[in-house]
């Protein structure tokens, strides 16, 4: 329990964001037409989150781990934006009435999950992973 004692809201929110990205990856794989690089982007996001948690356990004073939150936000944003490229035809066919909504339902769910993950990473990047454990340095 000592590991979780000095963690911030951003730590827990980033963990939830990684789970959302993982579920978004699973849902994206079930959509009609997928690209492997989008799957890789989402998988790298989850791996970076796990790596950050390991680094925080091994070296809690490592200062660069907070940058991983920004990197994960960028990766999920790239996955979200690029995933629409693969679904443009299907979305157009649904809008014109040629296909049923069920054709893009899994993609829409995955896009919402990716967007929620991206927002959660952006919000968590403002608070970082852990509270400051610094000694009383200089007070202004």
pLDDT, tens digit, for every residue of 10-52? 888 999 999 999 999 999 998 878 889 999 999 999 999 999 8
pLDDT tens, residue by residue, 54-66: 888 887 777 777 7
Can you tell me which residue has the tokens 């944003």? Answer: 77
CA dihedral 92, 35, 115, 81 (to 10 degrees): -70
Residue 130 backbone phi and psi in degrees, to 5: -140, 160
Q: What is the pTM of this model?
A: 0.83
**If pLDDT is split at 50, 70 and 90, which confidence band does 140 have?**
very low
Question: Are 14 and 117 within 8 A, CB to CB?
Answer: no
Model confidence band, residue 53 (pLDDT cutoffs 50, 70, 90): confident
Number of continuous H segments (helices) and E segments (strands) in the chain:
4, 0
């Amino acid at each position: 329990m000592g590991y979780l004692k000095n963690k911030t809201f951003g730590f827990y929110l980033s963990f939830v964001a990684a789970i959302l990205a993982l579920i978004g990856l699973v849902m994206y794989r079930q959509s009609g037409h997928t690209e492997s690089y989008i799957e890789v982007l989402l998988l790298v996001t989850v791996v970076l989150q796990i790596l950050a948690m390991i680094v925080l356990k091994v070296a809690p004073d490592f200062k660069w781990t907070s940058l991983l939150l920004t990197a994960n936000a960028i990766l999920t944003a790239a996955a979200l934006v690029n995933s629409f490229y693969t679904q443009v035809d299907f979305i157009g066919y649904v809008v014109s009435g040629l296909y049923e909504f069920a054709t893009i339902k899994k993609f829409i769910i995955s896009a919402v999950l990716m967007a929620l993950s991206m927002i959660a990473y952006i919000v968590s990047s403002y608070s970082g992973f852990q509270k400051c454990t610094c000694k009383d340095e200089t007070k202004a």
